[in-house]
Amino acid sequence: MLEPNTLGHVLTRSARLLNARVVAAVHAEGFTEVRDSWLGMLRHLDAEGVRSTVLAERLEVTKQAAGQLVSELERKGYLERIPDPTDGRAKLVRITERGLQAWLAGLQAFRALETELDSVLGAHLLTTLRDGGGALLAHLETLENH
């Protein structure tokens, strides 16, 4: 009815398919437990380790939510928690070797998808979407902060 919020729909749906495709590729590499939500988490890790509170901020969820996700990934062997030498309360979340392999598989799958899309849709389209989407996002975020 009454042509609708198509922009939101298009964005939501293509993002979902994009992620689903990457995850499927990672599954095919043998990491069958990986789920969509992990991508968001792994994006924010680094080699030195990150506190889960920082992850929570970056993901914009509560620290409990971040902690739950980290615990699950830890159980599955993709992450590990080590004590933070500079603060007795804190722990640093680090990616394991297995986690790194899965991440690399996903990265590779994304690159491949990217090249394929570029060749089919034109090399400029993905760049345009990324940059345009970035600009849109930036403005929407300033709106959020009143």
Partner DNA sequence: CCAGTTGGTAAAGGCTGTTTACTTATCGCG
Partner DNA sequence: CGCGATAAGTAAACAGCCTTTACCAACTGG
Interacting residues with DNA (CB under 7 A)? 35-37, 40, 51-54, 59-65, 67-72, 81, 84, 86-92
Of 129, 145, 101, 112, nearest to 14 by C-alpha is: 129
What type of residue sits at position 49?
G
Cβ atoms of residues 46 and 54 within 8 Å = no
Least CB distance from residue 88 to a copy of itself, whole Å?
26
Considering the complex, state which of residue 15 and residue 82 has its C-beta at the smaller distance from a copy of itself.
15
Name every residue whose Cβ is closer than 8 Å to that of residue 119 and which is 6 or more positions away in sequence: none
107 binds, among DNA, a copy of itself, none (CB under 5 to 8 A by kind): a copy of itself
Considering the complex, state which of residue 72 and residue 118 has its C-beta at the smaller distance from DNA.
72
Least CB distance from residue 96 to a copy of itself, whole Å?
13
Least CB distance from residue 81 to a copy of itself, whole Å?
17
Considering the complex, state which of residue 8 and residue 88 has its C-beta at the smaller distance from a copy of itself.
8
27 binds, among DNA, a copy of itself, none (CB under 5 to 8 A by kind): none
Considering the complex, state which of residue 89 and residue 124 has its C-beta at the smaller distance from DNA.
89
- Backbone φ and ψ for 133, nearest 5 degrees, come out as -60, -40
> Residue 43 corresponds to which tokens in the numbers above?
């994006």
9 binds, among DNA, a copy of itself, none (CB under 5 to 8 A by kind): a copy of itself
Q: Helix, strand, or coil here: 13?
A: helix
What type of residue sits at position 135?
A
Least CB distance from residue 110 to a copy of itself, whole Å?
5
Cβ atoms of residues 79 and 70 within 8 Å = yes
Q: Which residues pair with 50 in a beta bridge?
A: 93
